[in-house]
């Protein structure tokens, strides 16, 4: 049974990946906005922000990576909605394939596409002067956190893609996720924010994830932020998988 599920998922993932490779501009577009934000903040606004001994591009990059992921998952929701609207899901239901494989194909495609976009953003950051003291193990830790965050948000995108009644609704859900890093420690220290905003910034998931990535990049101890970040990512992932499964069963029972 497990081999059947893996084989079906692999075949369906190949299908969705072919759609992405035929539209490489979606990956490039996903990376353009975060790169534009990075250029704006580093070269225009960064001089007015005090980050101590840390170069602003080094300080900024973790938040930009999360924005890249939040931007990329909108395409996952869009592709899923188009499959639903086009009747592809109904056709798949008539075939002897694992139902979970249909959703996992979109999730794995999202993971691959977002990883490519993340590599492009890091490459631009290196050109802009980003430097890190992270070891190989540190980079693996960064990759692990980003993969977990991508999976969590992608399953949220699955819910939106299955529930949306229009193309615009399928992708618009990601806008609040893109804006969330702006009210966190991603761009400025939270100590500079007024009371209520600071409380929200320090207790939302992006701040703990950004702080963890930043600490790994500069080679400092991560502390409790890592556990908070992992708890947020795992909590969102589990809740989103359960909710997506319920929406899928209700829509295609």
Q: For the chain, what is the radius of gyration of the CA atoms?
A: 19
* Percent of the chain whose pLDDT exceeds 70: 82
Please provide the average confidence, as pLDDT, over all residues in the chain: 84
Q: What does DSSP assign to residue 48? A: G
This prediction's pTM: 0.88
Spatial distance between the Cα atoms of 24 and 136, rounded to a whole number of angstroms: 29
Residue 52: per-residue pLDDT: 77
Question: What angle do the packed helices 224-251 and 136-163 form, to 10 degrees?
Answer: 30
> Is the confidence at residue 1, as pLDDT, over 60?
no
Identify which of 24-33, 155-164, 169-178, 210-219 has the greatest average pLDDT. Answer: 210-219
So what's the pLDDT on residue 205? 93
Token pair for residue 168? 């615009």
The whole-angstrom separation of Cα 205 and Cα 230 is 9
Cα separation of 134 and 216, whole Å?
6
Largest CA distance in the chain: 61
What digits encode the pLDDT tens for the residues 106-116? 888 888 888 98
For residues 220-230, average pLDDT = 90
Quote the tokens at residue 57.
């591009």
Residues 115-139: pLDDT tens digits? Answer: 988 999 999 999 999 999 888 999 9
DSSP count for the chain of H helices, then E strands: 11, 0
């Amino acid at each position: 049974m497990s081999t059947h599920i893996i084989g079906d998922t692999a075949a369906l993932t190949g299908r969705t990946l072919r759609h992405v490779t035929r539209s490489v501009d979606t990956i490039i577009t996903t990376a353009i906005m975060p790169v534009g934000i990075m250029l704006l903040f580093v070269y225009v606004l960064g001089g007015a922000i005090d980050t101590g001994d840390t170069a602003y591009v080094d300080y900024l990059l973790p938040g930009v990576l999360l924005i890249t992921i939040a931007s990329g998952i909108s395409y996952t929701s869009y592709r899923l909605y188009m499959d639903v609207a086009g009747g592809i899901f109904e056709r798949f239901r008539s075939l002897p394939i694992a139902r979970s494989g249909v959703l996992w194909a979109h999730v794995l495609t999202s993971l691959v596409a977002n990883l490519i976009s993340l590599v492009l953003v890091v490459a631009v950051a290196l050109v802009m002067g980003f430097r890190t003291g992270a070891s190989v193990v540190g980079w693996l830790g960064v990759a692990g956190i980003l993969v977990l965050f991508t999976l969590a948000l992608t399953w949220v995108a699955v819910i939106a893609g299955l529930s949306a009644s229009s193309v615009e609704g399928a992708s618009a859900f990601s806008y609040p996720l893109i804006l969330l890093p702006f009210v966190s420690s991603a761009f400025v220290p939270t100590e500079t924010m007024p009371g209520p905003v600071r409380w929200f910034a320090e207790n939302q998931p992006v701040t703990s994830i950004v702080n963890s990535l930043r600490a790994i990049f500069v080679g400092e101890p991560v502390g409790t932020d890592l556990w908070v970040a992992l708890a947020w990512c795992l909590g969102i992932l589990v809740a989103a998988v359960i909710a997506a499964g319920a929406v899928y069963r209700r829509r295609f029972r």
